[in-house]
Amino acid sequence: MLTKVYHDAAEALRSATALVIGAGAGMGVDSGLPDFRGTEGFWRAYPPFRGKRFDEMSRPVWFQTDPHLAWGFFGHRLQLYRSAIPHDGFEILRKWAERIPSFVVTSNVDGQFQKAGFSESNLFEFHGSIHCLQCAQPCGNDLWPAADLELDIDMATIRTTSDLPRCPRCEGIARPNILMFSDRQWIDERSEAQLRRWRAWLRNVDSSRMVAIELGAGLAVPTVRIECESLGGTLIRLNPRDSSVPAHGISLPVGALEGLRGIDQQVTRESRC
């Protein structure tokens, strides 16, 4: 059954005139990153938060009311994303992107595409990046890199014991430049600039045989799914749980790495025929 699906996906890619790579949290699972799916998944990643949900903890209010807890949570995630090694699926995608005009759209904030060698100029991060910081107030629109930020975190409580990062302008508490839940403090200038490049790219590519390959984008926060479905062309959806597709779609109920390897093997096999 899957053999035909892999063949259809490979055929679409071989004739593609433009490629959109859409990635959700499931893209990072094969690199050892948690996807926080449901409360049980969140609690497995952060046992001290049992009884709370991910969307409760990912809120800007914590930087005002309990910044050591906020930075314990986000600081641990920052360390996790820094140490993660992009899995082989990223290299498969990069190989395809070398021959097809491509753009990455992702709801992930982990910076894995940049680490895997994808260009910032062809990347739209819907929800910002944990590798950029901003003022929690905010006192202005300044953003700065988190590259020098090092935090000590007590994993028994998920609280940082380090000095808190500060805004260089007002010396108030800093926070990641991530769109959180119930967030009116997010500075979206970086994301807006990416959005403008994304829209310009769409206007300037040959979309006659556009392919969108969507990887691990779930239904809880369906940003990437909605974007990929809106493009027309052929949608290839890789998702082990939520793989249903509209009429123009190809469904692969597998994880990102397994599906990318299967499609790539089929592309290679058919290219030799």
Confidence of residue 2 (pLDDT cuts 50, 70, 90): confident
The pLDDT assigned to 269 comes to 82
The CB-based long-range contact list for 264-273 (8 Å cut-off, 24+ gap) reads 264/92, 264/95, 264/96, 265/6, 266/6, 266/7, 266/9, 266/10, 267/10, 267/13, 267/14, 270/7, 270/10, 270/11, 270/14, 271/14
The pLDDT assigned to 272 comes to 62
Average pLDDT of the segment spanning 114-141: 97
The pLDDT assigned to 1 comes to 65
Closest CA to 220 of 28, 31, 25: 25
How many C-beta atoms surround the C-beta of residue 155 within 10 A? 11
pLDDT at 248 over 80: no
pLDDT at 37 over 90: no
Confidence of residue 220 (pLDDT cuts 50, 70, 90): confident
The pLDDT assigned to 38 comes to 67
Average pLDDT of the segment spanning 135-163: 96
The pLDDT assigned to 100 comes to 96
User: What does pLDDT average to over the chain?
Assistant: 94
The pLDDT assigned to 42 comes to 80
pTM: 0.95
pLDDT, tens digit, 9 for 90 and up, residues 40-88: 778 788 889 888 888 999 999 999 999 999 999 999 999 999 999 999 9
144 vs 43: which has the higher pLDDT: 144
- Domain locations in the chain as residue ranges: 2-272
- Under CATH, what is the fold of the domain 2-272? Rossmann fold (3.40.50)
